[in-house]
């Protein structure tokens, strides 16, 4: 789903101290957004090495799934 048709989600909820910053936001389709908040799933952002920008989804049973972005963020230089 293109990011412009997704919900922008705070990985760590704003009411739990999560900041509105690139490192704490991810575009989720409505279905995944609902599952995250009401289905017992957890999400964390990966920032190390080749996994940078990926989301790790953790099921209610502890199984882990890593989803990499289709494209990386552009890097702007002076």
What is the distance between the alpha carbons of residues 50 and 47, in angstroms, rounded to a whole number?
8
5-14, 26-35, 43-52, 68-77: least confident range? 68-77
What is the secondary structure of the chain as a DSSP string?
--GGGSEEEESS-GGGT--SSGGGEEEE-HHHHHHHHHSS-EEEE--SGGGTT-EEEE-TTS-EEEE--SSPPP----
What pTM value is reported for the model? 0.78
Q: Report whether pLDDT(56) > 80.
A: yes
Q: Report whether pLDDT(72) > 70.
A: no
The angle at the Cα of 26, spanning 11 to 1, to the nearest 5 degrees, equals 135
- The string of pLDDT tens digits covering residues 16-51 is 999 999 889 999 999 999 999 999 999 999 987 667
């Amino acid at each position: 789903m293109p990011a412009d048709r997704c919900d922008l989600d705070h990985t760590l909820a704003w009411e739990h101290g999560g900041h509105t910053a690139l490192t704490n936001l991810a575009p989720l389709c409505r279905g995944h957004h609902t599952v995250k908040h009401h289905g017992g799933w957890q999400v964390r952002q990966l920032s190390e090495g080749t996994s940078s920008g990926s989301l790790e989804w953790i099921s209610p049973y502890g199984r882990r799934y890593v989803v990499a972005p289709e494209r990386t963020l552009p890097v702007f230089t002076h």
